[in-house]
Each structure stands twice: as C-alpha cells, then as structure tokens.
C-alpha cells in the first residue's frame, strides 16, 4: 500500500514539475522590474474548408498577433512583451455543401480572442530607487521627520552598482524629510575623539560629546536580485528601530 501511495505521489510531483517548466514566458505574471503598460486584446477571424474544429492556429501564432498589436498601441516601447496571455476560440457558423462532382465540404468560421498585459523592462536604477523607497518607508515608520541618518553598511549583489545604490539611499532619505550625515564626517569625528583621549588634538576642532548623538540613526541596506532589506539602528542605544524586507 505504501509503495502504491509513494508511486502516486511521485507521479503527481513529476507531472506538476513538467507542467511548471512548460509554462511559457508570455503566460507568466509580470516579473520584478517589469512595468505594466496596460491590458491589450485583439481577435482574428478565420474561415476554412475543412472538417476539423478548431482551426489550425497555434498559441504561439496568436501570441505573435497580440504582440504586434501591443507594439502598435505602444510604439514608444518597441521591446515590450506580453504577460498573463490568454486565448479562446469561438465557433461562429458552419455550412455543409456539395460541389458539382459530388464531393462534400464543410465551410466553417470561428473567432480567436487574445488578451494579455503589455509590459516593459524598467531601468535597473529606477527600479532600485522604488524598492528602496518602499523598504525605507516600512523601516522608518516610527521615526520622526527631520531625524538624522548616517549610512553604515551597504551590500549589493547582481548588476546594481554599490556607489550608485548608496547615492540613491541618500536621495530617498532626503525626499522623505530626513537629514543625512556623511559617514566620512563621522569617521573624522571618531579619529578626532581618539586623538583627544590621547592628549594630541587641536582645541579649535575639539569633538563635543553631543556630536555623535546628533546622528540619531544608522541605516544598513542589503539589495539582491530577490529582495531589498533595510535596517535602522538607534545610534545611542544600538537597538534596531526598524527592520523591513521587500521581496521581489
């Protein structure tokens, strides 16, 4: 009995795996980094002298027809694609007739209807900024506007440039009403503080006790091909004030 059940389970898993692998790209949902332009639909009518129904158009052929229509509607995006593609066929009418030689024919007409979402791939820089904005919103929801941030750690993987992402973090924080202190400034303060403790320092640039506390929060960002994680750390207490992950 166990062997039979195991065989059935394996058969189901295998069939599901084959089915999942067989889903073509235009039937999938829009992917991360793809923006939806709109819903596109089209139809095509066919008539044939045949005894077979439905007609001989393939799904790939119908997809190409819809893709052509999408490009006509959105000429500014010649590299667009289709997602969530669906198609159906409707029988319109059929007529039997006999020619002068006594041969029987069937003339039938039908309509194919196609629909899908026209999408285009966004600029990776623009997409990263949107992901950061969402994650920072979630991580900083309990932090008052005007608070000071300093970027502590930035980790990236994939095609995103680390320096470019760091610049975007600064832009997003400023847009949300926060103040951003350069980490290089904090490092200079730290060095000056150590010099003070050793007795070697310039009195005109003495580090005050509240210089570091003026920076309220550190922000850590980890950006990968599948997620964007933002952590906000209270500088005074070392506690996490916010932790948010946006999965793609």
Tokens of 227: 């997620």
* Global confidence as pTM: 0.61
Alpha-carbon distances, residue 5 vs 135, 142, 187, 198 (angstroms)? 45, 52, 64, 75
Whether the predicted pLDDT of 175 surpasses 60: yes
How many Å apart are CA 154 and CA 134, to the nearest integer? Answer: 17
Class of residue 171 by CB neighbours under 10 A (exposed 0-12, middle 13-18, buried 19+): middle
pLDDT tens per residue across span 14-41:
333 333 345 689 999 998 889 999 999 9
Whether the predicted pLDDT of 3 surpasses 50: no
- Average pLDDT (70-90) is 95
Tell me the average pLDDT of the chain: 81
Alpha-carbon distances, residue 215 vs 207, 233, 242 (angstroms)? 14, 11, 16
The per-residue pLDDT for 199 is 55
Q: In terms of pLDDT, which residue wins out, 46 or 173?
A: 173
Tokens of 226: 């599948």
* Rg from Cα positions in the chain: 31
The per-residue pLDDT for 207 is 41
For the chain, list the domains and their CATH numbers.
24-121 (3.30.110), 124-247 (3.40.50)
Place of tokens 């669906």: 86
From the CB of residue 212, how many other CB atoms can be counted at a distance below 10 Å?
16
> Exposed e or buried b for every residue in 137-167, given b needs 16+ CB within 10 A?
eebbeebeeebebbbbebebeeebeeeebee
- Average pLDDT (185-214) is 55
């Amino acid at each position: 009995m166990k062997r039979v059940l195991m065989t059935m389970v394996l058969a189901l898993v295998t069939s599901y795996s084959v089915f999942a692998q067989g889903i073509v790209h235009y039937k999938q949902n829009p992917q991360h980094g793809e923006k939806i332009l709109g819903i596109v639909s089209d139809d095509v009518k066919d008539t044939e002298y045949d005894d077979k129904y439905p007609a001989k158009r393939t799904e790939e052929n119908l997809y190409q027809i819809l893709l052509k229509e999408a490009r006509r509607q959105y000429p500014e995006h010649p590299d667009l694609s289709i997602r969530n593609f669906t198609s159906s066929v409707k029988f319109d009418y059929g007529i039997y007739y006999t020619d002068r030689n006594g041969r029987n024919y069937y003339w039938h007409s039908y309509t194919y209807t196609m629909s899908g979402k026209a999408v285009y791939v966004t600029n990776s820089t623009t997409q990263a900024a949107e992901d950061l904005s969402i994650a920072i919103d979630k991580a900083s929801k309990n932090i008052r506007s005007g608070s000071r941030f300093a970027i502590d750690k930035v980790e990236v993987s994939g095609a995103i440039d680390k320096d470019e992402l760091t610049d975007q973090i600064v832009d997003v924080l400023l847009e949300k009403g926060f103040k951003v202190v350069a980490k290089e400034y904090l490092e200079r303060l730290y060095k000056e503080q150590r010099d003070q403790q050793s007795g070697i320092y310039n009195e005109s640039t003495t580090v005050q006790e509240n210089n570091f506390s003026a920076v309220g929060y550190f922000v850590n960002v980890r950006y990968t091909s599948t997620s964007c994680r933002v952590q906000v750390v209270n500088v005074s207490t070392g506690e996490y004030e916010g932790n948010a992950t946006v999965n793609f």
